[in-house]
Amino acid sequence: MNVELIACTPGAEEVCAMAANGCYSPYPASDIVLNDEQINKILKRCIKSGHHSVLEHANYTFSVSNVSRVLTHQLIRHRVASFSQMSQRYVSMDECGYFTPQTVIDKAHSTDDYDVKIGKVYSTAMDYAFNTYSQLIESGIPEEDARYVLPNGCFTNITFTMNARELLHFFELRCCNRAQTEIREMAWKMLAICKERSPIIFEKAGPSCIRGKCTEEKPCGHPYKEM
C-alpha cells in the first residue's frame, strides 16, 4: 500500500480561520490578515464548539495505490468526496496482483497442517480467477467482460479528494479498531500526513476514544490513548 498527498489547499488552516473570522467581522475574508497565534486560537475554538463547516474550505487530494477493491468499496461510501479509480475496462489486470489479509498469511505460515492447507486455499482461488481472466482475454473476450471473474482482492489504484471536515469524520470511523484492517491501515497513514500538513485541524483527529468515550455500539475494549 502506498499513500501520498498529491494536492492540498494552499495555507489550508489560514483559509479556514479567515472564513471563520469572516463570520464575525464586517470585513470580507480577503481583507483579513491573521497571525499564527490567531489562526491557532480561531480554529481550536471552532473545532471545540463543533463549528466544523469552516473546515470545508480546505481540500486534500490523496493518491493511493496497491490496495484491494474491498478497500475502495468501503472508501466510496464516504459521500462527501470525489473519486477517480483505475478502470478495469481499459487496464489489463493480468499483472495487477492481489491483496492477502494478514489472517490468511498467518494461516499459511502456521505450524498446523490444517491451517497451512486453509492458507493455500486462498492463493489457489486467486490464481484460478486470474488464470481464468487471462484465458478469457486470450479467447477474444474484451476486458470489460472478462473482469467479471476477478476477485474483490485484486489490486487497484484510486485518487480521491476530501475536505477537512469529512476527513475528521473519516478518521473517526476508519482509524477505529473496529474498522476493517486494510482501510484502517490506510486511514492511519492518511492521518499522519494530515497531522504534518495541518496540525491544528487534525490535532485530535482519529477514533472517538482518543478524545474520550467510545461512540461505537460495541467498543473493542482496547481504546487508543490520546496522541
Domains and CATH numbers, the chain: 2-85+156-211 (3.30.1360.170), 102-149 (no CATH)
Cell numbers 480554529: residue: 43
pLDDT band at 29 (very low <50, low <70, confident <90, very high): confident
pLDDT tens figures, 9-28: 999 999 999 999 988 888 88
Range 208-221 average pLDDT: 82
Decide if pLDDT at 118 tops 90: no
Range 71-87 average pLDDT: 96
Decide if pLDDT at 219 tops 70: yes
pLDDT tens figures, 105-116: 998 888 888 888
Range 85-106 average pLDDT: 91
Tell me what pLDDT residue 226 has: 53
Tell me what pLDDT residue 156 has: 97
- And the C-alpha cell for 170? 473519516
| Total-model pTM | 0.91
Reduced to 3 states, what is the DSSP secondary structure of residue 81?
strand
Helix (H) or strand (E) holding 91: none
Range 204-210 average pLDDT: 91
Instruction: Kindly report each contact of residues 190-197 with a partner whose C-beta sits within 8 Å and lies 24 or more positions away, as own/partner.
Output: 190/3, 190/5, 190/62, 193/3, 193/4, 193/5, 193/62, 194/5, 194/60, 194/164, 194/167, 197/5, 197/8, 197/12, 197/60
Decide if pLDDT at 159 tops 80: yes
Range 37-45 average pLDDT: 95
Decide if pLDDT at 227 tops 50: no
Residue pair 206/172 in contact by the 8 Å Cβ criterion: yes
Catalytic entry in 69, 147, 165, 174: 174
Range 27-37 average pLDDT: 87
pLDDT tens figures, 44-69: 999 999 999 999 999 999 999 999 99
Decide if pLDDT at 93 tops 70: yes
Tell me what pLDDT residue 135 has: 96
The DSSP code for 54 is G
How far are the Cα atoms of 2, 115, 122, 162 from residue 103, in angstroms, in the given order? Answer: 21, 11, 11, 31
Orientation angle between helical segments 164-174 and 181-197, nearest 10 degrees: 140
174 is catalytic: yes
How far are the Cα atoms of 44, 95, 148, 202 from residue 141, in angstroms, in the given order? Answer: 57, 17, 11, 48
